Amino acid sequence: MDKPLYMSRTFRYLLSSTKLLFWALLFLSLILFCSLQSPPSSRRNLGHGPDWEDLVIQSARPKSRASDQPRIVLVTGAAGFVGTHVAAALRRRGDGLVGIDNFNAYYSPSLKRARTQLLKQAGVFVVEGDINNSTLLTKLFGLVKFTHVMHLAAQAGVRYAMKNPASYVHSNIAGLVSVLEVCKSADPQPAIIWASSSSVYGLNTKIPFSEKDRTDQPSSLYAATKKAGEEIAHTYNHIYGLSITGLRFFTVYGPWGRPDMAYFFFTKDILKGKPVTIFEGSKHATVARDFTYIDDIVKGCLAALDTAKRSTGSGGKKMGPAQFRVFNLGNTSPEPVSKLVSILEKLLKVKAKRSVLPMPANGDVLYTHANISLAQKELGYKPKTDLQTGLKKFVSWYLDYYSQQGKKSAV
């Protein structure tokens, strides 16, 4: 009787150690799995060493500004289209700045890397990380006393919101709150300038769109998240004394632009001989946009930054009322999408294969047109570039950029 008892003890012992080993392995593989699932950017950005800190501090150092109040700006979405242009312009005039971008794959990350390369050459460091990573943001604010935040990181695009609604909530709502939370607690608090959108005017038919018009009829989730952002910004201004300026951009285009936008992929498709779809409204109504050239937008962004008053709070406490502004940054000259295609045909010297279709229920609106008198008055904003001139610059950049890419991939 002893033997079986002995055997069963050994067996139980073996069983329990096997179980232990099994659970330990399971636990370890879970840890490994979780760490592989977290985005590479946040992994790399935890535990930044002294070299990384030096790069941040160096980039934040103002260069040549003859001012006793130098501007030190955190630019979110710095590898994005507007972000890169704004960051480059800030650096050109000598401001100190640090960029942050998560390099997500909404569109070609290699285009984002190429933009960042330009910034690197200009001495701007772009941190790879997500604005939702509050540890990283707190670390940056610990290293640098930012006077301003130019918050341009966002999930853009109207139609993609039907495919990936969560990404809009993640970037445009949670991400915005994450940025505002860090700003509110910073001491001193920076002034914030951020990208809203013309899409907040939604289904309005009164044109041109004025900042005083209603913005409670968004036609896409994208627009709804931007509108929510405006309300969230108001709360942080009201409770914490953050100085906040929202800029409603109107269909921004130009060199280094976004491949998800119509002018960009129309160019690609025309060159490839593929058909382009031009939407029209009911009863053949023309679809038009107040296309705004990137250089004009950059001037508007810098003017908004230069006229921003200081936040009034300190370390999370409001000391008095703070500035709260919203401006339209458009071109005030809407053009039909069909005209956009005609201009591209001439510039590319290729006839487009047009297919005109009723606009699907995809969140797009029929028409946008900015009233810019407020921005004109308060920011001195004066757009100068018409669609023909702006597209010419875009096409020249496009042909150059993709011929270089072609040469590289042929090597």
Name the residues annotated as catalytic. Answer: 222
Q: Considering only residues 155 through 214, tell me which ones interact with ligand UGA, judged by CB under 6 A.
A: 156-158, 197-199
Sign of CA dihedral 47, 53, 55, 60: positive
The distance of closest approach from Cβ of residue 319 to ligand UGA in the complex, given in angstroms and rounded to an integer, is 34
Q: Which of 85, 91, 139, 289 binds ligand UGA (CB under 6 A)?
A: 289
Report whether 322 contacts 313 (CB < 8 A).
yes
The answer to whether residue 250 forms part of the interface with ligand UGA (CB under 6 A) is yes
Q: Which is nearer to ligand UGA, 38 or 108 (CB)?
A: 108
Subset of 348-387 contacting ligand UGA (CB under 6 A): 364
| Residue of 215, 225, 251, 371 interacting with ligand UGA (CB under 6 A) | 251
User: Rounded to the nearest 5°, which phi and psi values hold at 381?
Assistant: -75, 125
Using only C-alpha atoms, the chain has a radius of gyration, in whole angstroms, of 25
Residues near 104 by Cβ (< 8 Å), separated by ≥ 6?
A: none
Q: Would you call 397 helix, strand, or coil by DSSP?
A: helix
What proportions of the chain, in percent to the nearest 5, are helix, strand and coil? 50, 15, 35
CB of 156 to ligand UGA, least distance (A): 4
Reduced to 3 states, what is the DSSP secondary structure of residue 249? strand
Cα→Cα distances 166→108, 160, 170, Å: 20, 11, 6
Q: Please state, in angstroms and rounded to a whole number, the distance separating the CA atoms of residues 337 and 359.
A: 12
**286 is a contact residue toward ligand UGA (CB under 6 A):** no
Instruction: Please give the Cα distance from 187 to 313 (Å, whole number).
Output: 8
Q: Which stretch binds ligand UGA (CB under 6 A): 9-17, 35-43, 153-161, 376-384?
A: 153-161
Cβ closer to ligand UGA: 245 or 251? 251
Q: Which of 74, 287, 352, 372 binds ligand UGA (CB under 6 A)?
A: 287
Q: For the CB of residue 52, give the shortest distance to ligand UGA in the complex, in Å.
A: 31
Interface with ligand UGA, residue 262, by CB under 6 A: yes
Rule CB under 6 A: which of 91-150 touch ligand UGA? none
- Judged by CB under 6 A, the number of residues near ligand UGA is 18
CA distance 171 to 175: 5
Q: What does the block give as tokens for 191?
A: 């002034």
Stretch of 11-19, 77-85, 142-150, 275-283 contacting ligand UGA, by CB under 6 A: 275-283
Closest to ligand UGA by CB, 249 vs 394, is 249
* 294 near ligand UGA (CB under 6 A): no
277 contributes a contact to ligand UGA by CB under 6 A: yes
Considering the rule CB under 6 A, would residue 279 count as an interface residue with ligand UGA? Answer: yes
331: contact with ligand UGA by CB under 6 A: no
Task: Assess contact for 199 and 158: CB atoms under 8 A.
Answer: yes
Pick from 56, 261, 370, 372 the residue near ligand UGA by CB under 6 A.
261
- Distance, CA of 80 to CA of 114 (rounded, Å): 11
- Three-class secondary structure of residue 394 per DSSP: helix
Residue 106, number of CB atoms within 10 A of its CB: 19
Interface ranges with ligand UGA (CB under 6 A): 156-158, 197-199, 249-251, 261-262, 277-279, 287, 289, 337, 364
